[in-house]
Structure 1
Amino acid sequence: MNINEAISGRRSIREYTTEAVDEPIIHRLIDAAIQAPSAVNQQPWTFTVIRDQGLLERVSREAKAHMLATMPTGTHSAHFHSILNDADFQIFYHAPVLILISGSAQGQWMVEDCALAAENLMLTAYAEGLGTCWIGFAQPFLGTPEGKSLLGLPSEWLPVAPIILGHPKSVPAPVQHNEAQIRWIG
């Protein structure tokens, strides 16, 4: 698969089979992630791999409660409240793996560096026939002292990219992308 096929074919997957993801595959995905560029070559990323479904259930409950308690009102807040108040909604969609990319070295571009690593990981997963989804609902809670403690993360680490991973049960149809807005100067 070439890079253009991976970029245009990757989707956020929210339905997974129960099939486990083999550890060597996870290592390959993380190896692809660490090939990402980083500002001043700091490589500030760390990877926490969670396969314990009980722990993921607990993190999901805590993250939902945290979001409901702290979410500002806005254009999507009613929709998000509806989803987060659903007791059956699990924010990780029962995926077999969560890979949390955190920044371990404070730097001006640490978040961007970790996001670049996340994109490499997600594109490589797609090329391997796997599905991924960046779970924004998890981010606020995982950045709290309680969230870090639950996963055993050092207090100085900043969770940036909670990415679920697994074998897709189904793949959503392509979405329409807006035309690029380009300004040419010179």
Structure 2
Amino acid sequence: MELMETIRRRRAVREYTDEPVGEDQLRALIGAAVQAPSAMNQQCWSFCVVRDAALLAQISDEAKTYMLRTTPAGLIPHHLEEMLGAASFHIFYHAPAMIVISATMAGAWAPIDCTLAAENLMLAACDAGLGSCWIGFAQGWLGTPEGKAALGLPDDYTPIAPIIVGHPKAEPPVVPRGDPEIRWA
């Protein structure tokens, strides 16, 4: 697949088959992620792979509760509040795997470096015929002491990018993009 085709085809996937993602495939995605640029080549990222369905369900429940409890009233749109409050809603969409990219050090550039690695990972997943989705709903709880403990992360790590990965049930449609605003100086 050509790079520009992969960039155009990559979409957030929220429906997955039950087929597991193999360890070799997950390692290949992480291998692509670490090719991302990083400030001063510090490569201050760590990858935690979660494939245990019970742990994913526990994190989903904890993250929903945390988000509803800690977000100031009125800041969560009503439809999202209802979705997060539904016991049946699984924030990871029952994907068979999640890769959490965490910053291993503090600093202004570490979250950006992890985000660059995340985009490489998601593009590599698309190129391999896999689906992926960055799950923002999980970020808050994963950053708590309890969330870090669930992942076995050191206290000084900061979870940045919880990305689910799996075999998509269907290829998501291409979403039209508007013309970019470009300013020439």
- Which bin holds the TM-score, normalised by the shorter protein? over 0.9
* Structure 1 residue identity aligned to 2:8: S
Q: CA RMSD in A?
A: 1.1
Deviations 1:53-93 (A, max 9, x none): 00000000000000010123456521210110111000000
Matched, 1:57 2:57: yes
Aligned residue number for residue 83 of structure 2: 83
Matched, 1:153 2:159: no
Superposition map of 1:137-148 within 5 A: 137-148=137-148
Aligned residue number for residue 108 of structure 2: 108
* Structure 2 residue identity aligned to 1:160: I
Structure 1: gaps (5+ residues): none
TM-score, scaled to structure 2: 0.97
Residue 71 of structure 1 contacts residue 77 of structure 1 at CA under 8 Å; is this kept in 2?
no
174-183 vs 152-161, greater mean Cα deviation: 174-183
76-85 vs 138-147, greater mean Cα deviation: 76-85
Structure 2: gaps (5+ residues): none
TM-score, scaled to structure 1: 0.96
157-166 vs 70-79, greater mean Cα deviation: 70-79
> Could you tell me the percent identity over the aligned residues?
55
Aligned residue number for residue 130 of structure 2: 130
Equivalenced residues, count:
185
Q: Secondary structure at the match of 1:173?
A: coil
Aligned residue number for residue 44 of structure 2: 44
Residue 16 of structure 1 contacts residue 93 of structure 1 at CA under 8 Å; is this kept in 2?
yes
Q: Secondary structure at the match of 2:159?
A: strand
Give the distance between the partners of 1:58 and 1:79, measured in 2 at CA: 22
* Structure 2 residue identity aligned to 1:67: M
Give the distance between the partners of 2:42 and 2:53, measured in 1 at CA: 33
Superposition map of 1:168-183 within 5 A: 168-183=168-183
Give the distance between the partners of 1:171 and 1:73, measured in 2 at CA: 36
Relative to structure 1, the CA distance from residue 121 to residue 111 in structure 2 (aligned partners, 3 Å threshold; closer, same or farther) is same
Give the distance between the partners of 1:4 and 1:158, measured in 2 at CA: 31
Residue 63 of structure 1 contacts residue 142 of structure 1 at CA under 8 Å; is this kept in 2?
yes
Q: Secondary structure at the match of 1:105?
A: coil
Residue 114 of structure 1 contacts residue 161 of structure 1 at CA under 8 Å; is this kept in 2?
yes
